[in-house]
Amino acid sequence: MLKLFRQNLGPALVITRREVRDQFRDWRILFPILMLTLFFPALMNFTAERALRFVENFGAPVIGERLIPFLLMIVGFFPVSVSLVIALESFVGEKERHSIEPLLSSPLSDWQLYLGKLLAAVLTPLMASYLGIAVYMVGVYRKLGWLPDSVLLSQILLLTSVQAVLMVSGAVVISSQTTSVRAANLLASFIIIPMALLIQGESIVMFWGRYQILWWAIAGLVVVTSLLVRAGVAHFSREELLGKELDSLNFRWGWQVFIQKFSDGAHSLLGWYRQVFSLVSREMVIPSILVGLVLVAGIWVGTTQAKVFVLPPELMQLDSLEGGAFQGTDVIRFYSVTGVGSVWLHNIRAIVLASLLGLFSFGVLGVIILMLPLALVGYFMASLTTVGMSPALFFGSFVLPHGILEIPAIILAGGAILRLGATLATPSHGQTVGEALLNSLADWFRVMIGLVLPLLLGAAILEVYLTPRIVTMVLGG
C-alpha cells in the first residue's frame, strides 16, 4: 500500500520540489510573500491596537473585539492570494515558455503533473500564511493579551487553506483554456471577483460575530473546490494543453458542432421531438431526480424559515380575497396575475438566469435559483397554518393547478442546467472541452425549446386563467 502510494505520489512530489525551489529563486515571488508574512501582520497588530483604543474612547469596545479576529482572517488570506499568481505562472507560464512540453513527453501521468503543480502553487503561500497568522497572534497577544479560541483558529486555518486550493484549482481551469499568461491574467478576474465577494461576505460574518456561519462557508468552499479540482484534473490533459496554439474562436466549426447536436439527425419536427424524448429518458433521469430532491429540500427550507420570519396574521386576509388575500405577495413575484405573456417571460428570464449562473458554478447556483420559488411555497404553506389553512389545501389550490406543468418544467430545466454545469467538471473522452460544452449547450437548447418553454407557456395560461378561479372557489370568495 505504502509502496503503491510512494510510486504514484513520488513523481508528483518531484515536480513540487522543483517548483518550490524555483519559487525561492524568484525574488518577484519571495519579496511579496516576505512582506505579507512579516511586515503586514506587524502592521495589522498596530492597526488592531490603535483601533481598539480609539473605539474604547466612544464606549464601543465590541468593534475592537470583532476587528481583531477579522484581521486574523485578513492576515491569513493576503499571502494566500499570491498562490493565484504562482499557479497562473506555473501552469500557463510553463505552457507559454514551452517548458511544459518536455514534462508532457515524460512518463508522468496527467494527474501526477496536476497534483505536483497544485501542491507547489499552494505550499509556499500557505506556509507564509500560517507564519503570518502566527506573527499576528504573537503580536496581538503581547500587546493586548488576546488569543483566538481553538474553534475560531481552526476555522481561520481551514478557510485559508481551502481558499488557497480554490484559487489554484480555479487558476488551473483558466490556464488550461489559454495559451498566454496575459490572457490568463485577464481571465483571472473570474476568480478574483468571486473571491473578493467571498471575503466581503466573510467580513460581514466576522463583524456580525456569528462565527458558526463560517462552518457553512468552509463547507461550501470545500464543495466548490472539489468541483474545481475535478474540473482541473479533467482539463489538465496533454490534449487540452498542447491541442491548441492560439486563443482563437472558430465560429464556423462551433456552429457546425452545435447544430449537428441540436438537430441530432432529425428530418422532421416529429423526429426531432423523438430525439428530445430519447435524450430526456437516457441522460436526464439522474439530474432530474437530483433537482427534484433539491426542490423538495427547498420546500423544507421554506417551512423552517416561516418560524424565523413570522408573517403577521393581519397580512393573511383569507376572508376578503377581493381586497387581496395575501397583501404584498405580488412584490416578491410569488403570485401575480399580470397576463400570460408576462408570467411566461418572467419564468423564462428566471430559467435563463439560473442557466447562466449554473454555467459558472457547475450547475450549483442555477439549481439554487430554481429552488427559491419552492422555498417560498414551503414558507407560505407553513405560515398559513397559523391562520388555520391546511398546507395541502394551499398547495392544491395556489400551486398545483399551474404547478402541474410548471414544476416538471423546472425539474427538466434544472436537470439540463446541472448537465451543462457538470460538463466543465467531467472529463469528456474523445472531445475537447469546447466540443463537450457545445454539445451540452445544444442539449440544453433542445430541452428548453422542445419541452421547458411549451410547458411554461401552458403553466402561464393555467396560472392566469385557472389558478385564481380555483383559489376563489376553494376559499369561497
Residues that bind other proteins (CB under 8 A): 11, 14-15, 18, 22, 25-26, 94, 97-109, 238-239, 242-244, 250, 252-253, 256, 432, 434
- What's the closest the beta carbon of residue 118 comes to other proteins, in angstroms? 17
Are 349 and 370 contacting, i.e. CB atoms less than 8 angstroms apart? no
Burial class (CB in 10 A: 0-12, 13-18, 19+), 31: exposed
Q: Bin 363: left if φ > 0, else alpha if -120 < ψ < 50, else beta.
A: left
Q: Which of 332, 320, 327 is nearest to 377 (CA)?
A: 332
Q: Which is nearer to other proteins, 208 or 253 (CB)?
A: 253
Q: What is the CA radius of gyration of the chain?
A: 27
Q: Helix or strand or coil: residue 173?
A: helix
Phi, psi dihedrals of residue 266, rounded to the nearest 5°: -80, 145
Which amino acid, 285? Answer: V
Q: Which is nearer to other proteins, 242 or 422 (CB)?
A: 242
- What's the closest the beta carbon of residue 167 comes to other proteins, in angstroms? 24
Diameter over CA atoms, the chain: 80
Report how far apart the first and last C-alpha atoms of the chain are (Å, whole number). Answer: 73
- What's the closest the beta carbon of residue 427 comes to other proteins, in angstroms? 13
d(CA 413, CA 363): 11
d(CA 108, CA 106): 5
d(CA 207, CA 175): 35
Please list, in sequence order, all residues whose beta carbon lies within 8 angstroms of the beta carbon of residue 209, skipping any fewer than 6 positions away. Answer: 66
- What's the closest the beta carbon of residue 61 comes to other proteins, in angstroms? 51
- What's the closest the beta carbon of residue 101 comes to other proteins, in angstroms? 5
318's grid cell? 383569507
Q: Which is nearer to other proteins, 66 or 238 (CB)?
A: 238
Q: Which is nearer to other proteins, 98 or 307 (CB)?
A: 98
Q: Which of 437, 451, 446 is nearest to 257 (CA)?
A: 437
- What's the closest the beta carbon of residue 230 comes to other proteins, in angstroms? 21
Q: Which is nearer to other proteins, 232 or 434 (CB)?
A: 434
- What's the closest the beta carbon of residue 188 comes to other proteins, in angstroms? 23
Q: Which is nearer to other proteins, 249 or 270 (CB)?
A: 249
- What's the closest the beta carbon of residue 251 comes to other proteins, in angstroms? 11
Q: Which is nearer to other proteins, 256 or 278 (CB)?
A: 256
CA 235 vs. chain centroid, Å, equals 18
Q: Which is nearer to other proteins, 373 or 434 (CB)?
A: 434
Q: Which is nearer to other proteins, 105 or 338 (CB)?
A: 105
Specify the residue for cell string 464543495. 223
d(CA 75, CA 182): 28
Are 232 and 172 contacting, i.e. CB atoms less than 8 angstroms apart? yes
Which amino acid, 200? Answer: Q
- What's the closest the beta carbon of residue 10 comes to other proteins, in angstroms? 8
Specify the residue for cell string 524555483. 22
- What's the closest the beta carbon of residue 253 comes to other proteins, in angstroms? 4
Q: Which is nearer to other proteins, 107 or 312 (CB)?
A: 107
Are 78 and 159 contacting, i.e. CB atoms less than 8 angstroms apart? no
